[in-house]
Structure 1
Amino acid sequence: MLEGSINSLETLNSRRCYCGFNALNLMAWTDLNVGRRFHKCPRPKVNSCGYWEWQDKQQLPLRAVAVILELIGKLDNMKVERNKLKSIVDGMERVKGMI
């Protein structure tokens, strides 16, 4: 029963581009459209038929967009901090190897 439901949902959300291929289902990460899903031609831009369509017909609420962007910023800051700490640990391991 569950498997049939999943297949039905996939069929409902699937699209074909003008080339006849299954369109990609992607998520936007631009500031104004962060989190919105869209469909586009799977071919590279130079060979693409130009098919592109929002899966949802409206933007997320502004508060949701603000929260997502804030979380992305925090994640980026944590990645920078992680890289700094990794560099410190790598330096300590090099020193330890010299002793």
Structure 2
Amino acid sequence: MASASSGRSSTRSSACGGRGGDADRGTSWSPIAYLEGPLEYKPAVYCKCKKKAPRWISWSIMNPGRRYYACINRRAGGCDFWQWHDEGSTTPFVKQLLIDLRDKVWALAKENAELRDSFADARSGTEQQLFGTLQWTALTTALADKESEVFSLTGNLKKLETQRQLLVVAIIGCMCIVVGMLFT
């Protein structure tokens, strides 16, 4: 394990609570899941506060993928303990590859979040359309029932009108017979 080196400043700005990121891009999380938790390593390394120092992964441009130790409370008044876990940096090719992969993961994560938001919006719109369609279907069914009832009542009304006319004719016929019997 090497002591703190000149890469300190670039790594400090890249890690936020163990979730490395590039502050300029608005990302502040590690593009890959840690294989082990920041405190799940052995042998333990202790900071000046006498607490086990978490081991983080740097995602800075200068030291991508390089691991380091820092005081667990360094952002909340802890000590200034900081040291590299890995000796030296990687080759320029591997460094650039890690940066490109990091950026691609962040871009895909952003795109995934945007797609999820779009999907949620589309789903909400679809649910509203479905609700409207169900309401329309219910109203159409109710209208069809009312039209059927009107048709049935219209048929009954015609029957009753015909029966009323027959009754009037029968009454007039009876009256004619009665009047004819009175005058004969």
TM-score with structure 1 setting the length: 0.75
Which is strand-richer, 1 or 2? 1
Query: Residues 74 and 80 of structure 2 are in contact (CA less than 8 Å); yes or no, is this contact kept in structure 1?
Result: no
**Residue 51 of structure 2 aligns to which amino acid in structure 1?**
F
2: CA distance between counterparts of 1:75 and 1:81?
10
Give the C-alpha shift of residue 85 in structure 1.
2.2
Greater Cα offset, 61-70 or 87-96: 87-96
Q: Which residue of 2 aligns with 1:38?
A: 68
Give the alignment's Cα RMSD to 1 decimal: 1.9
Unpaired stretches in structure 1, ≥5 consecutive residues: 1-8
Larger Rg: 2
2: CA distance between counterparts of 1:19 and 1:84?
42
**Residue 123 of structure 2 aligns to which amino acid in structure 1?**
E
1:59 matched to 2:59: no
Q: Which residue of 1 aligns with 2:57?
A: 27
2: CA distance between counterparts of 1:88 and 1:18?
48
Give the C-alpha shift of residue 46 in structure 1.
4.7
2: CA distance between counterparts of 1:97 and 1:42?
47
- Cα distance change on mapping 1:40 and 1:80 into 2, 3 Å: closer
* Correspondent of 1:96 among 126, 135, 143: 126
2: CA distance between counterparts of 1:81 and 1:16?
40
The structure, 1 or 2, with the larger RCO (C-alpha pairs under 8 Å, 6+ apart) is: 1
Give the C-alpha shift of residue 44 in structure 1.
3.4
Deviation string, structure 1 residues 12-41 (Cα, Å, up to 9, x no partner): xx2111221111111111100111111111
Q: Which residue of 2 aligns with 1:4?
A: none
TM-score with structure 2 setting the length: 0.43
2: CA distance between counterparts of 1:64 and 1:15?
27
* Correspondent of 1:70 among 84, 94, 100: 100
Query: Residues 69 and 83 of structure 2 are in contact (CA less than 8 Å); yes or no, is this contact kept in structure 1?
Result: yes
* Correspondent of 2:42 among 10, 18, 26: 10
Q: State the aligned residue count.
A: 89
1:85 matched to 2:115: yes
- Cα distance change on mapping 1:36 and 1:95 into 2, 3 Å: same
Unpaired stretches in structure 2, ≥5 consecutive residues: 1-40, 130-184
